[in-house]
Amino acid sequence: MTPRIHLLDTRLANQIAAGEVVERPASVIKELLENALDAGATQIDIQVEEGGTRLIQIRDNGGGIDREDLPLALARHATSKILTLDDLDAVATLGFRGEALASIASVSRLTLTSSTDESGIGWSVHTEGRDMEPVLTAASHPRGTTVTVRDLFFNTPARRKFLRTVNTELGHLEEVVRRLCLFNFGVGFRLTHNGTLRWQFRAAPDEAEQRRRISTLCGQTFMDAATPLLVETHGLSLGGWLGSPSMARGQADMQYFYVNGRVVRDKVVSHAIRSAYSDVLAHGRHPAYVFFFELEPSAVDVNVHPTKHEVRFRDQRVVHEFLARTIHRALAGLKTVALASAEETVNLPETAATLREQSALSLPQSPGPGVSETVGAWGRSTPAHQPMPTDLRDRLADYLSPLRDSLPEEQVARTSPVMLTESLPGMPPLGYALAQLHGIYILAQNAQGLVIVDMHAAHERLVYERLKTAWENGRLASQPLLIPQTVALSETEAELAEQGRDWFLKLGFEVDRLGEESLAVRAIPALLPKADITALIRDVVADLREHGQSSRVEEAINELFGTMACHGAVRANRALTLPEMNMLLRDMEATEFSSQCNHGRPTWRQMSLAELDKLFWRGR
């Protein structure tokens, strides 16, 4: 007999909902910290025991919750952050669903205490019984809110047994706190575990304090190799710290990307950053970075996943192009980590106007078809009630203002680094060659001390960049096929390829649609005569479908150029004259990405006089 339909009781419904929101103690910490930040807190104290399974207590000095609203705070779908459906088009708070507290309360013993003034008198609420009826009592409490969560999953043992060791859960918990600390510089954080202080950060209003916080959270090695970056154009802003390719990591564990203050994992963003770094990283290595991306809230949908880790951009092609181009240009002039000092920052000589002139396809000034239609529409279609909210701009200002102050005035709002500038009048940055060591290294003297150059790696990058420049300045030649090659695709992919025929022509392909699920390839790029055309066409179509564009052909051509450059570069044990060595140094100073070869290896290193003196105990 088919069971009768019935309503779930409140606790069971909330426990089911908790499965989407509360995975482990770190999930609880994330939701409660986001609520504290949305309440305007400037100081947040976090106390946990046994990795958060026994106790999680978060106290903030935010605006607090009124007595009448406390019972509602523990109800499902109760929130102060949205009122109408239109509000979802411009969400500016970290939390907004109104599910977190109810879900957490259903799988723990939760008490919520709050006060909205400085009287010291507050109110406390917790839920009891099957129907989770809220019980309200008077309590002593300063302005702000304290949430106490005890015995997580005590009533759902099946969930509790999937928790890991205390150290593992603490590691996940600390990662959540780290992510929020890395953006919310205007807020002080204190974290204790089992009564032991783990982290304590004061509010960081200036760049020095921000650097100190990032050094603690990400390590001094990252901070030493990171360069401040700030680019603002077309309503898009990208700031943060750009990790040097020479300090890439074996795992993607030092990558923090924020969209309007919310840390996210997004395929479009990840692809854009990988594309920007593709020419300067060794295989299997991952860049390290902390980036803050800002755009109008109406241009991004944050309501696509219960945990709010994923977002959807209204025009992902524009976002992809902006991120990839900006980061790529910033990387073009980075010095190696050995030379960069704490006072040096990336130079950004091209203005936003220059970017508009050079990038009309991707970031146009006036509305037109395709991308420009969407970019131009941002200012027109956004309702009056959807500008960037003041509280979000204030939080972004906590980061942007000190960073902007740290950069020379002419560098703000620019998009591309220049080559290495002269260290002293008359002294080139890489100095002058002194000798050749074992036919492999060039030794040079500059104003800082000793420069050591791997001549093969350096020349390989120079040849590689010249090949790319020659290709980019010319037309990508096509090679007609005697017998057209048929490629089988899905109907959707075939339609996409047909619509993108002009795009394929720019890449050197000539394609025609044969039927509902097939293409005829009549010409291919002349530089790729031995490529697997079927696989390449399918990859390009997949990229067009996912990201609105594709770099597959460029990557394949660059791989060919890399092989050519490796064979064309000067080999080890070849004797160079001093003029030849100095010419190589000057070419390096004038070439983008010259600090790494196209395999990601550094091309030169700097040893300062102080480091040399230390080797020989001078000054002791």
How do residues 173-230 score in pLDDT, each as one tens digit? Answer: 999 999 999 999 999 999 999 999 999 999 998 888 999 999 999 999 899 888 899 9
Same-domain status, 258 and 389:
yes
3 found inside a domain = no
4 found inside a domain = no
Q: What is the pLDDT of residues 129-186, one digit of tens each?
A: 666 788 899 999 999 999 999 999 988 888 888 899 999 999 999 999 999 999 999 9
Structure tokens at 460: 């390989």
Does the pLDDT of residue 364 top 80, yes or no?
Answer: no
Same-domain status, 403 and 475:
no
**HSE (CB half, 13 Å, CA atoms) of 147?**
27
Same-domain status, 113 and 134:
yes
150 found inside a domain = yes
More confident residue, 459 or 46: 46
Same-domain status, 248 and 359:
yes
Domain boundary among 201, 235, 262: 201
Mean pLDDT value across the chain: 79
Q: What is the pLDDT of residue 8?
A: 77
The domain that contains 260 carries what CATH number?
3.30.230.10
Domain boundary among 201, 224, 252: 201
% of the chain beyond a pLDDT of 70: 76
Same-domain status, 111 and 255:
no
Total Cβ atoms within 10 A of residue 8: 10
Question: By C-alpha distance, which of 7, 145, 129, 20 is closest to 70?
Answer: 145
Q: What is the pLDDT of residues 518-572, one digit of tens each?
A: 999 999 877 677 778 888 788 778 777 766 666 666 676 676 667 666 766 777 7
For the chain, what is the domain count?
Answer: 3
The domain that contains 514 carries what CATH number?
3.30.1540.20
Q: What is the pLDDT of residue 339?
A: 41
Same-domain status, 103 and 170:
yes
Same-domain status, 234 and 316:
yes
2 found inside a domain = no
Report how far residue 307's alpha carbon sits from residue 17's, in angstroms, rounded to the nearest whole number: 12
511 found inside a domain = yes
Domain boundary among 201, 218, 246: 201
Same-domain status, 401 and 446:
no
Same-domain status, 469 and 448:
yes
Q: What is the pLDDT of residue 133?
A: 83
323 found inside a domain = yes
**Which range marks the domain in which residue 364 is found?**
208-411
- pLDDT classification of 316: cutoffs 50, 70, 90: confident
Same-domain status, 599 and 494:
yes
Same-domain status, 430 and 361:
no
Same-domain status, 236 and 174:
no
Total number of residues shown for the chain: 620
Q: What is the pLDDT of residue 194?
A: 96
pTM above 0.75, yes or no: no
- pLDDT classification of 409: cutoffs 50, 70, 90: very low
70 found inside a domain = yes
Average pLDDT over residues 263-271: 88
Average pLDDT over residues 6-20: 71
* Contact predicate 493/544, CB 8 Å: no
The domain that contains 32 carries what CATH number?
3.30.565.10
Does the pLDDT of residue 446 top 50, yes or no?
Answer: yes
Structure tokens at 332: 């073009």
